[in-house]
Amino acid sequence: MKIRADHDRVRERLVGHGATDRGRRTQRDTYYNAPARDFAETDEALRVRHETADGDRRAKLTYKGPLVGPTSKTREEHETEIEDGEVMEAILESLGFVRVAVVEKDRERFSLGDCLVVLDSIAGLGEFVEVETEAHEEEIDAAREEVAGMIESLGLNPDAEIRTSYLELLLGDGD
- Kindly list the distances between the CA atom of residue 161 and the CA atoms of 23, 73, 102, 144, 151, in Å, as whole numbers in the listed order: 24, 10, 23, 12, 10
Q: Which residues lie across from 26 on neighbouring strands?
A: 52, 106
Active-site residue identified among 31, 32, 63, 166 = 31
Among positive and negative, which fits the CA dihedral 84, 88, 94, 97? negative
Q: At a CB cut-off of 8 Å and minimum separation 6, what does 134 contact?
A: 143
Round to whole Å and give the CA distance between 82 and 46.
14
166 catalytic, yes or no?
A: no
Q: Which residues are catalytic?
A: 31
